[in-house]
Amino acid sequence: MASRLNSIDALRSPLVDKILQLTGGWNDPCQTVFSSVSSGSQVESTATDVISSLKKTDAFGRFGVPVDLLEAFKALSVWCPDGSFTSDVTDVLRDVSTSLDANALLRFGSLVGILSLKFDPSDPKREFIEMNVLARDILGSGIGR
């Protein structure tokens, strides 16, 4: 993101924070924004348009969420605030489906950019999750289906 902003002479602007706020840093919308702008003045309006269109279309498909995992990610977006431990996530997911492998869901979510998994600094055997802000907004509100 920094190299693209630098190439359109927008690196020192508040656009970096705005884009991160809108996209959560998710690569797909960032790439869409930067591939279609040629100046810093276009970035914010283009980003807003991209996010609006995501909220109106099959956003789950663009995040790469298979249909059989959709309810689980929706549950995480509603019931697991950032900083939830993976053990809490496992309890929530157990209520969604008894056959769902929570570890596989967490790793998949991390792989596609919906989730970030971080080790607890006080106990490296425990992990906690954070959800991409855009994913939480779309999944938690039920739009984009």
Residue 71's region, left for phi above 0, alpha for psi from -120 to 50, else beta, is alpha
Which pLDDT belongs to residue 143? 46
Q: 142 Cβ partners below 8 Å, 6+ apart?
A: 74
Q: Which two tokens stand for residue 86?
A: 């993976």
Q: What is the pLDDT along the chain (145 residues), one digit of tens a residue?
A: 566 666 666 556 676 677 777 777 777 777 777 777 776 677 778 877 877 777 766 667 767 778 888 889 989 998 889 989 988 888 888 888 878 888 889 999 988 888 999 998 899 889 999 998 888 888 877 544 4
Q: Which two tokens stand for residue 81?
A: 């605030």
Which pLDDT belongs to residue 145? 42
Question: What single string gives the DSSP state of each residue in 9-25?
Answer: T-TTSTHHHHHHHHHTT
Q: Which two tokens stand for residue 105?
A: 């869901």
> In angstroms, rounded to a whole number, what is the distance separating the alpha carbons of residues 63 and 113?
8
Which pLDDT belongs to residue 21? 74
Taken in order of first residue, the domains within the chain and their CATH numbers are: 2-56 (no CATH), 61-141 (1.10.10.10)
